[in-house]
Structure 1
Amino acid sequence: MAEAISSPETRDFSAGRRWVAPPNSLQASVLLAFLSSAGLYYVNIFPAITNALMEGAGLSTVEAGQITSANAMGAAFGAFAVTLLIRRIPHWKMASVALLLGLICIDILTIMQESTNILVPLRFGHGFIGGSLVGLGFSVIARTARPSVAFSLLLVCQYGGGALGLWLLPPLVPSYGPYVPFYALIIFCLVTLSMIPFLAAYPLPEKKATTSGTTASAAKIRVFPLGLTLLALFFFQAANMALFAFIFGLGEHFGLTIEFMSPTIGIANIIAIGGAVLAAYTGIRYKLLKPLAFALICSALGTLIFLFSDSPVIYLIANCVTGVAWAFCIPYLLTMSAKFDEAGQMAALGGFASKMGLASGPIAAGYLLATDGSYPLLIVMAAGVIIACLLIAFHPARDLDAQI
């Protein structure tokens, strides 16, 4: 009788009939990392997508930037929409399956297109669904005992998958066409679908009324430090993605070849995984401010190193330094946003700020490059924005440290 009235979240995958990862275990963190990565995997192969659209489909930097930015902008709105609906989605696993199937369908439609004119609205729709999935995944991660671990593993998944994509996909475009990267997106979604049955239910926390009539979770939210955290997330992602989306074009500007850059960026992404692993280690042992500040400074310096990319070794070093710093900082900034409530709504809102940054970076860079083609100016501006992120994140990081 008990089983007959149990919810789908617990009935379908009960521990007595199928193995389920313990809610706060490392295995669960890995599965949640994959879930949250699936809607965002295109970001990690952004250079492969933009290069495929420019070299394979003959699009300009502005057109390629518009298409990739539409994907990221849709993700931002999707993440924001799911932020408002978190408490209205009790059966998040069923919702995740539906979203993953939606992503697969749109990628198939993208591959079937013979004209690139419809790609902007189509990829916006893909981004909206993907952003909703990421926001949903972030909200579930926020309900775990150690969200910093899952957020760090999220970056491990993204950089690992991104490394394979950036290494393998660009050389395939001349032979198989500009839509090669979208096959990779479909495969990632299929792999993630197979993992969902092994996740626990992670129910929504119950609202607790306060004497003033508001809920306890709402009463705890501090708007000013939360706003600064979201602002830092936005600018950090925008600065990094502005360079990363055109990293192949940057290398070509300094005289490097695609044959050199593809494996180089793939290697750099593999090395960058170390940043996410380090964030998982330091996140449960140290406070927020000092590690985050150090990593942001390293990120700015690594960005400036790109000014000397006429040397292949320097290009490799710059990609490695910025990759490690990027993979280290994002788990910290996402963990900061997750600490502002218990249901995971603010974590999902952090996803919105992150996606807005990812969307804004490539389109701003595309217009800048179309104006004067100045990659050195783009590099300097990106480094300056990262330094600004350090100043913005200082107060909320110190504020959260004081509560530990």
Structure 2
Amino acid sequence: MSVAQSTGLAPLRLAAIVLFAAIVPAVLMTAPAVATQYALQLGLNPARIGQLLSAELAVMSLATLPAYYWQRRCDWRRVAQAAAVLFIVTNLASAWTADYGLLMSLRILSALGGGTLMVVCIASAASSRQPERVYGLWVSGQLILGAVGLWLLPPLFASYGLRALYLGLAALMLACLPLATALPPRAQPPAPRPGQQPVARSRLVGVCALLAVLLFYVGLSAVWTFIGSIASAAAIDPTSSGRILSVATLLGIAGSLCATFIGARWPRPLLLVAGYGLMALAVALLLGLPDLARFAVAALLFKYTWTFALPFILACVADMDPQGRLMNSVNLVIGGGLALGPVLAGPLLESSLGMNAVLLGSIACLALSLSVLLAVRAGAPSPSSVTAPSGARP
């Protein structure tokens, strides 16, 4: 049975969800290469580079807010088409812009279009019979395009400058634009599995589910943002740590693909406990001053388990959200968690508590996130605890 068949989504709809969600955050996924080119080509200082990249992340997340209005009133396909056109036009304009103020405005508009597309993709995936598989591909697409971008962009930048990035994004989005018609016109309830019972939901349950996602992202971003600092403090040379983190990207792709393969074959609570537990173990391995071998194991395990656990976390939220409104908020919560983690970790690093406090705080966030997620599932049946469709085993 193909992935599309097992998820209950039409192949074109699945392709639209994965491809749109991969293109939208490409600038952020290739931030190291892009930041270097901003400095070399435009002469921007680190503060302005940070402002450009932070603005894209912030606006992509804040695109959730207007979605609260249009999600129940507009055809999602029309919204996706308009957002994609906005993304294309602003990236084309960015390719010929050297003025910082104008570039900032264009990147904000591009992020608004991209964030709107991301909201549509996340909410559309929730209608799947096996959302963990769809979200596994959702994560994989972003990681794969980011890895390809980090490999291709440096030589392209040397020949064509920033135009290579912006024209490439516009071309990719233009090629995928016809897929917008494959998206659903409105939120759709998930395709039922045999024997599945209705799940009791409340506003409090939804808030707790979003809190679990927020804590997960705070815990991971606080560590991943400063993992290079951990290597430096442990006297691990930049070349070795850079190679380890490059390999970790491949492990991240493997983690999300494993989640896609497993889908609903195994009980979801077991997979969540395994993912969170191994991720916390990876953080614990970074305590103290790890040697090269311990640092490598920790970094590779952390990246693998992060992307392995995430699809199952999002699938849990999707189970509680037949109308797509909760998944709309997930886009905002993800951006908030990514921003909040470094904000909280930075002052701790500068205090007398140091890096160990950040790592212990991350473990606490992960433990609390898992506890909340399991608690909101405890009183209701879930797709992973009922008879699975043909081709999958419980």
The two structures have a TM-score, normalised by structure 2, of 0.76
Q: Residue in 1 aligned with 2:56?
A: 71
- Asked if the contact 2:133–2:263 (Cα under 8 Å) also holds between the matched residues in 1, the reply is yes
Give the 3 Å change call, closer, same or farther, for CA 205–290 of structure 1 in structure 2: closer
Aligned residue number for residue 94 of structure 1: 78
Deviation of 1:295 after TM superposition, in Å, equals 0.8
Which 10-residue stretch deviates more, 393-402 or 149-158? 393-402
- Looking at structure 1, the residues matched to 297 and 56 of structure 2 have their Cα atoms a distance apart, in angstroms, of 29
> 139-148 or 320-329: which moved more?
139-148
Structure 1: which amino acid aligns with 2:336? M
Whether 2:136 is the aligned partner of 1:160: answer no
Shift of 1:120: 5.5
**Percent identity between the two aligned chains:** 20
Please give the residue correspondences for 1:302-321 in structure 2 after superposition, counting only pairs within 5 Å. Answer: 302-307=282-287, 311-321=291-301
Which residue, 335, 339, 363 being the options, matches 1:355?
335
Cα distance in 2, alignment partners of residues 125 and 86 from structure 1: 19
1:324 alignment partner in structure 2: 304
Pick from 18, 29, 39 the counterpart of residue 44 of structure 1. 29
Q: Structure 1 residues 310, 145: CA separation in 2 closer, same or farther (over 3 Å shift)?
A: closer
CA distance in 1, matches of 2:337, 2:327: 15
Q: Name the structure 1 match of 2:392.
A: none
1:59 to 41, 45, 55: 45
Per-residue CA deviations over 1:233-270 (Å, capped at 9, x if unaligned) read 11212332344445556555655666555554343222
Give the aligned length. Answer: 370
1:53, distance to aligned residue in structure 2 (A): 5.3
1:214 is matched with: none
Task: Select 2:213's aligned residue among 211, 228, 233.
Answer: 233
Of stretches 357-366 and 165-174 in structure 1, the one that deviates more from structure 2 is: 165-174
Deviation at 1:32, TM superposition (A): 1.8
* Unaligned segments of structure 1, at least 5 residues: 1-20, 207-216
Indicate if the aligned counterparts of 1:232 and 1:390 stay in contact, CA closer than 8 A: yes
User: Could you say which residue in structure 2 is the equivalent of 1:395?
Assistant: 375
Instruction: Give how far 1:185 is off.
Output: 4.2
Point out the more displaced range, 325-334 or 235-244. Answer: 235-244
- Which stretch shifts more, 237-246 or 345-354? 237-246
Name the structure 1 match of 2:194. none
TM-score (norm 1): 0.75
- Please give the alpha-carbon distance, in whole angstroms, between the structure 1 residues aligned to 2:354 and 2:363: 15
Alignment check: 8 A CA contact 2:71 2:186 kept? no
The amino acid that maps onto 1:335 is: A
Distance in 2 separating the partners of 1:74 and 1:184: 21
Partner of 2:195: none
Matches within 5 A, 1:226-305: 226-245=206-225, 251=231, 264-305=244-285
Say which SS state the counterpart of residue 76 (structure 1) adopts. Answer: helix
Q: Give 2:90's aligned residue.
A: 106
For residue 167 of structure 1, report the CA deviation from its aligned partner.
4.1
**C-alpha separation in 2, matches of 1:247 and 1:326:** 14
1:134 is displaced (CA, Å) by 0.7
SS at match of 2:266: coil
Q: Aligned pair in 2 of structure 1 residues 170, 242: CA closer, same or farther (>3 Å)?
A: farther
Q: CA deviation at 1:110?
A: 4.3
Q: Which sits farther off after the overlay, 110-119 or 220-229?
A: 110-119
Q: Distance in 1 between matches of 2:82 and 2:238?
A: 37
CA gap 1:136/1:332 in 2 versus in 1, 3 angstroms = same
Residue of 144, 147, 150 corresponding to 2:128: 144
Q: 1:66 to 1:398 in 2, by over 3 A?
A: farther
Residue 113 of structure 1: CA displacement? Answer: 4.4
Measure the CA separation in 2 of the matches of 1:371 and 1:64: 26
Q: Could you report, residue by residue, the CA deviation over 1:147-195 in whole angstroms, capped at 9, with x for unpaired residues?
A: 2221111011112122223444467767876787656644543453354
Cα RMSD after superposing both structures: 3.9
Q: Residue type of the partner of 1:71?
A: E
> What residue in structure 2 maps to residue 33 of structure 1?
18
| SS of structure 2 residue aligned to 1:192 | helix
Q: CA deviation at 1:324?
A: 1.6
User: Does structure 1 conserve the Cα–Cα contact (< 8 Å) formed by 2:86 and 2:109?
Assistant: no
- The 1:147–1:98 alpha-carbon spacing in structure 2 relative to 1, beyond 3 Å, is same
Of the structure 1 ranges 126-135 and 242-251, higher mean CA displacement relative to structure 2 is found in 242-251
Q: Which amino acid aligns with 1:149?
A: R
SS in 2 for 1:87: coil
Q: 1 CA distance for matches of 2:156 and 2:208?
A: 42
The Cα shift of 1:78 comes to 0.5
Question: For residues 95-244 of structure 1, what are the structure 2 equivalents within 5 Å?
Answer: 95-114=79-98, 116=100, 122-169=106-153, 185-186=169-170, 188-193=172-177, 195-196=179-180, 199=182, 201=184, 203-205=186-188, 221-244=201-224
Structure 1 308/351 Cα, relative in aligned 2: closer, same or farther at 3 Å? same
Amino acid at match of 1:327: T
C-alpha distance 71-307 of structure 1, shift in aligned 2 (>3 A): farther
Q: How does 1:337-348 map to 2 (within 5 A)?
A: 337-348=317-328
